[in-house]
Amino acid sequence: METARGPVPLSSLGPVLSHEHLFINLMAERRGDGLLHDEALMARELAVFAKQGGGAIFDLTTAELTPGSTLDSERSFDARRAGQTRNPRAVEAVRRVSEATGVHVVLGTGRYRDPFLDPELIAELGVAGLAAEMVHDLTVGFADTGIRAGLIGEVGADKWFISEVEEQVFRAAAAASVQTGAPVYTHAARWTVGVEQSELLVSCGVAPEKIAIGHVDTVPSVDYAVELAARGHYVGIDTIYSTAPAALEHRVAQVLALVRAGHRDRILLAHDVCVASLLQANGGPGFGLVMGEFRAALLAAGIGEDEFRSMMVENPARYLAPSESGAAGTPKKRASPSA
């Protein structure tokens, strides 16, 4: 598996947080706290997870979220040009934080969602050009860094439907996944748009088990989580960033429902740290809630320690594992396209 420090065996990842961000610029939507660009602070924050026994995270910070996300960001990088899929200075900063903490970081590639997407660039590149960007990151690396992506995502929908511009990104993600075998991780917050994402990706040839629908826990429905798992997808219970009783109870209920329905093997857990107010330094839970209070809440609800460890270790590794359709980072042999 490709990580910020190079390829490592999947078995060495250990407990994984499946959806996080180390360096991100969300100021277009969160002017007050939407910037994470302090490298020393981020190393201290991630060290909390390492001390809990954490082994790896998926960093799903796609192109449009990375301009200006480090102090040494280059003015010329604005994610509005072909090939600008991830700020290379941020990729290098991720590697340094990984080295400092010992936590492996699996990097995602792709383009994000409305309103961050540039419609003119998406139209210029088209599905083939967008897919080529992702395949390059998976097989060659981000810009001049030599660091490869390990998965595709997060790619998303801003609303309760997939827009025409977002659809092009999803089709490109599917094409890149089919070509390389890399899994796809989506952004599907608040509404049940994950069903539409599922149908689109599968119709484009992506194996159901190579799809993770993100932010399922932001949707006020237990049945929705079970439906996605029944489709064969991984389910992101991945915005675990509040200890408020209602927030914890809802997420515990989703996990319990998935386990009882026989889908324990489809659960992915994370915080989605993406704004400054979520850092421990600023009074937030940081990267320690899943292995801390949330784990305790699950155990109190009847989830076994072995079951929790399976969610943290076995599920992410299985999601990342090469499938018969191809290994991530290794282009498959493809039949010639037909009209």
What pLDDT is stored for residue 322 in this prediction? 86
What percent of the chain is modeled with pLDDT above 90? 95
Handedness of CA 44, 48, 53, 59 (dihedral sign): negative
Do β-strands 234-237 and 267-269 pair in parallel, antiparallel, or remain unpaired? Answer: parallel
Query: Residue 20 forms beta bridges with which residues?
Result: 59
DSSP code string of 183-227: -EEEE--SSSTHHHHHHHHHHTT--GGGEEE--GGGSS-HHHHHH
For residue 132, the tally of other CB atoms under 10 A from its CB is 18
Q: The tokens 């302090």 sit on which residue?
A: 38
Q: Is 215 left (phi over 0), alpha (psi -120 to 50) or beta?
A: left
Q: Which two tokens stand for residue 67?
A: 């301009």
Using CA atoms, how far apart are residues 118 and 173, in angstroms rounded to an integer? 17
pLDDT, mean of residues 281-302:
98
**Radius of gyration (C-alpha) of the chain in whole angstroms:** 18
pLDDT tens per residue, range 49-71: 999 999 999 999 999 999 999 99
Amino acid at 191: W
Average pLDDT, rounded, for the chain? 95
Q: Is omega for the bond preceding 115 within 30 degrees of 0, making it cis? A: yes
Amino acid at 8: V
Handedness of CA 258, 267, 290, 112 (dihedral sign): negative
For residue 231, the tally of other CB atoms under 10 A from its CB is 18
Using CA atoms, how far apart are residues 312 and 23, in angstroms rounded to an integer? 23
Cβ neighbours of residue 99 under 8 Å, at least 6 residues apart? 5
pLDDT tens per residue, range 84-141: 999 999 999 999 999 999 999 999 999 999 999 999 999 999 999 999 999 999 999 9
Identify which of 14, 20, 10, 25 has the alpha carbon closest to the alpha carbon of residue 273. 20
**What number of residues does the chain have?**
339
Do β-strands 35-36 and 151-156 pair in parallel, antiparallel, or remain unpaired? Answer: unpaired
Using CA atoms, how far apart are residues 218 and 188, in angstroms rounded to an integer? 9
pLDDT, mean of residues 231-249:
97
User: Is 43's pLDDT higher than 60?
Assistant: yes
CA atoms within 13 A on the CB side of 266: 28
pLDDT tens per residue, range 215-232: 999 999 999 999 999 999
For residue 310, the tally of other CB atoms under 10 A from its CB is 16
Query: Residue 164 forms beta bridges with which residues?
Result: none
pLDDT tens per residue, range 9-30: 999 999 999 999 999 999 999 9
For residue 320, how far is the Cα from the chain centroid? 12
User: Is 298's pLDDT higher than 50?
Assistant: yes
Do β-strands 104-109 and 2-3 pair in parallel, antiparallel, or remain unpaired? Answer: unpaired
pLDDT tens per residue, range 136-181: 999 999 999 999 999 999 999 999 999 999 999 999 999 999 999 9
pTM over 0.75: yes
User: Is 327's pLDDT higher than 50?
Assistant: no
